[in-house]
Amino acid sequence: MTAPGRAVVVAVVGEIPAGGRKIVDIDGRSVGVFNLGDGFVALRNTCPHEGAPLCEGVLSGALTSPTPGVYHYERRGEILRCPWHQWEFDLRTGRSWVDPDRVRVRHYPVTSDGRHVIVHV
């Protein structure tokens, strides 16, 4: 498996359990690496809103409602909430919930050679 950019080994496989995360420094950039169970994602650890350490935030699910009083709760662990203002970001896309087109956090491809977790920056 190949991906563009420079490959940086950030962890060994098994180091980050499903639902877990590791925050690493890559050339002075702080990056959060998350294990979603079916694969890894990596996001810049800087909230596009005011620069908070986004990847230290709470992981939660996607909450929607078709009508008042009815709650649809899905994708547990895939929505990251910024520790400062609680804006939500989709781990799989880096897009914010409230303004997905304009407020997005940089995310990076992640691959594995079977032994290592590799972020491409």
Which parts of this chain interact with other proteins (CB under 8 A)? Answer: 63-72, 85-88, 97-99
For the bound state, the minimum distance from the C-beta of residue 72 to other proteins, rounded and expressed in Å, comes to 8
CA distance 26 to 55: 14
Whether 88 contacts 99, CB under 8 Å:
no
For the bound state, the minimum distance from the C-beta of residue 81 to other proteins, rounded and expressed in Å, comes to 9
Query: 77 to each of 58, 63, 91, how far by Cα in Å?
Result: 9, 12, 9
For the bound state, the minimum distance from the C-beta of residue 18 to other proteins, rounded and expressed in Å, comes to 24
Complex with other proteins: residue 17 or 68, whichever CB lies closer: 68
